[in-house]
Structure 1
């Protein structure tokens, strides 16, 4: 890249275009060399604030958002980095709970742009899209300045670009099998990669894991001298009851008990994410007694997680959920049974070509009366015809409709949900799922950002 390529962007579209011209997130060269060189040129901004680093297979973004909310409720200034975005690239970088607006995003891009070509020319491979956005986030957080950064890995852990940060608290949400072409084909191999975010002297907050995965994480913590706290042992969910608009949850925290806290998110998995977030904040803030009860209640009452069992429309109800692997689909399906009485429930499903589509479809099958198979607008999307062939084997051809255009698929599903609803105590609904991209595109179609 030449000096002229680093000219300042004047609009959000120009910054976005410049970023998208780089290696995509799906093209990886496992090394921290480029991001280290980049952040060094930027003055190592990631060393200027405390941080919570999150990895795992499912639940990272929801947990990160709840950690962020709890920290802000303690009047700490936060930076949050999450990925992928649901609707707009600037969602990835938030300060004080709000995504950067267009002007701030352009400013963040222009602040780092002069240094990108220096790394491109000095390293064997150019900076990727993801590495560049990580640099933007870390620099923007230092510039704000924030007290604490809440950082979600892009993929994996050890060689993820975010891992140039040495976090005070490392959070590992449940690990399952996903991204097998990059991370390995077993949960143990994936755990070995994700364990790389646990650093010397940190506190490792571990969500419930299988025995084999837990052994990998505990071994890593022992090697680096990290303190370990585990869901189900040092912290966890004591009780949860579905409630209107979410659930009421009692938590055992690291420093006390928090009873009947309202959480406006659905499903046992979100209660567990909340317990993990609470333990992470207790670990970061330190002290002896429990966090102030009213602060915890305020933070959780304001919790949101777009595209995660999010009701976007009524009559018929349309729910968006970004489940994109079998473990995520199982958690979503359990939450639907737990929190709603939808009859019939019609699925609109579009997945990426590199995902376990068969496993995801099978996890939803007992819960869906009919499935409308579609695809999203990206080149990585599995074709509707290919996905439909798999669906037909699992659901039977009579329960499968194909509609390659997402807008058509939603219309067909809404019609089916309304036509077949016969139970006076329940009503038909639609769930759009299978991919964060599919959900993001549906969210725009159905009214967009709130």
Structure 2
């Protein structure tokens, strides 16, 4: 690692608290301001001694499902007694969530230490590059340095957005995981799955193994071409691995999974929906590929069951309150909303379901509303605290076009919107259902779900520091 400047005036004072670190990071380029280049992160990590080069890596991209799948992979690897680092984004409630070691987010002290270890070098990069390091690039540097320092046996890393020029892509993965590709962030990635796949295929590196979820034909062709170009081995959902069977169960679902080496039956995952079963199959194949070899044996079935039974994924159809039931989901595009809607029908019997919707102004709002409409009796339009949030009134106008005037309310303050939805859910007769059988679904963005989680699980206080929802 290179030494920072010896000039005391040029070296920033070390942060003393998590709040100071949070303030310093948020003062940088936001995650939504993108300048597609790896120059800054490469310069940054070179100053840090290229910690990413010392790591074995499972790298994940795709439109939806990355965080849940990363958490499943992490759990499986830890059950195999490997030390793990996990980088996911965006966070649901606090920045701590982004960097985990051995399955646990860094605590305040460790997060401050990780920041201070790299902070002086951020200023050297800022002075040398045409653009300063962004929030996301800085946190990626913190994560790779913390993983190398631990050290971990394997890092499980989720891209921020895309793949080829995502800041995480300065490391070469042993296993590249490609989750389903749909249209999102069209401004940056393109408007069709095949164009988006070109960017996401950038995480496939020479000699790696690609674990590919089922894709649209056009996207699959792009990914297969990239794998062939660099000599990567490909394992495809539906061919080399997949979900054999699944059934809803209390608190989640029971599955049979076909892995790369064996079939694993009676696997319980405490998460809801067919999309989470798909994520589980992908995670299982990714771990088998990572620990594989020419004479690799099947994983111990009991260890697989134990790992999946302990998986959590906050704000992914997470039940956070009863009477009425309140579920949170971070879906923020039509593909994610369709998965949530299918899971509601598959795993629950609530009637009515009242939606609380807060979205970002740069999203496909109409597509999101259309995907949710068949599953919601009524929608309460609101907004989160971020500047990127679509105003509740504007969202309400869009919702009326899809749901009709009688099925839309506008309540700008999030906690008031949740209260209004809960009242509608409890008074089920007002929308044609029996009293007490309803539920509330809070969704539309990671920020909306995260702020609702803070309000509902930590007391009725307003969420803390301003934040942005990161592209994913």
Distance in 1, Cα, partners of 2:458 & 2:417:
17
Give 1:221's aligned residue. Answer: 227
Once the two structures are superposed, residues 352-405 of structure 1 have per-residue CA deviations (whole angstroms, 9 ceiling, x without a partner) of 011001100110101110000000000000110111101001000110000000
Give 2:156's aligned residue. Answer: 150
Once the two structures are superposed, residues 161-188 of structure 1 have per-residue CA deviations (whole angstroms, 9 ceiling, x without a partner) of 0000100000000000001111111111
Give the SS at the match of 1:446: helix
Give 1:407's aligned residue. Answer: 415
5+ unaligned residues in a row in structure 1: which ranges?
none
Deviation, structure 1 residue 426: 7.8
Deviation, structure 1 residue 262: 0.6
Give 2:447's aligned residue. Answer: 437
Give the SS at the match of 1:427: coil
Give 2:462's aligned residue. Answer: none
2:18 equivalent to 1:12:
yes
Q: TM-score, normalised by structure 2?
A: 0.93
5+ unaligned residues in a row in structure 2: which ranges?
460-472
Distance in 2, Cα, partners of 1:221 & 1:312:
41
When the two chains are superposed, the root-mean-square deviation of aligned CA atoms in Å is 1.4
Question: Quick check: 147-156 or 3-12, which moved more?
Answer: 3-12
One of 282, 307, 311 as aligned partner of 1:303? 311
Deviation, structure 1 residue 420: 1.2
Give 2:382's aligned residue. Answer: 374
Give 2:357's aligned residue. Answer: 349
Q: How many residues align?
A: 449
Give 1:82's aligned residue. Answer: 88
For the 8 Å contact 1:375–1:438, the answer to whether it is kept is yes
Give 1:320's aligned residue. Answer: 328
Change in 2 beyond 3 A, CA 1:116/1:336 = same
Deviation, structure 1 residue 448: 3.8
Give 2:466's aligned residue. Answer: none
Distance in 2, Cα, partners of 1:6 & 1:82:
27
Q: TM-score, normalised by structure 1?
A: 0.98
Distance in 2, Cα, partners of 1:425 & 1:12:
45
Deviation, structure 1 residue 260: 1.7
Change in 2 beyond 3 A, CA 1:157/1:448 = farther
Give 1:281's aligned residue. Answer: 287
One of 340, 345, 366 as aligned partner of 1:337? 345
Poorly superposed stretches of 4+, deviation over 6 Å: none
Change in 2 beyond 3 A, CA 1:142/1:185 = same
Give the SS at the match of 2:164: coil
Distance in 1, Cα, partners of 2:375 & 2:38:
43
Give 2:169's aligned residue. Answer: 163
For the 8 Å contact 1:6–1:116, the answer to whether it is kept is no
Distance in 1, Cα, partners of 2:192 & 2:458:
37
Question: Quick check: 368-377 or 178-187, which moved more?
Answer: 178-187
Question: Quick check: 414-423 or 202-211, which moved more?
Answer: 414-423
For the 8 Å contact 2:100–2:106, the answer to whether it is kept is yes
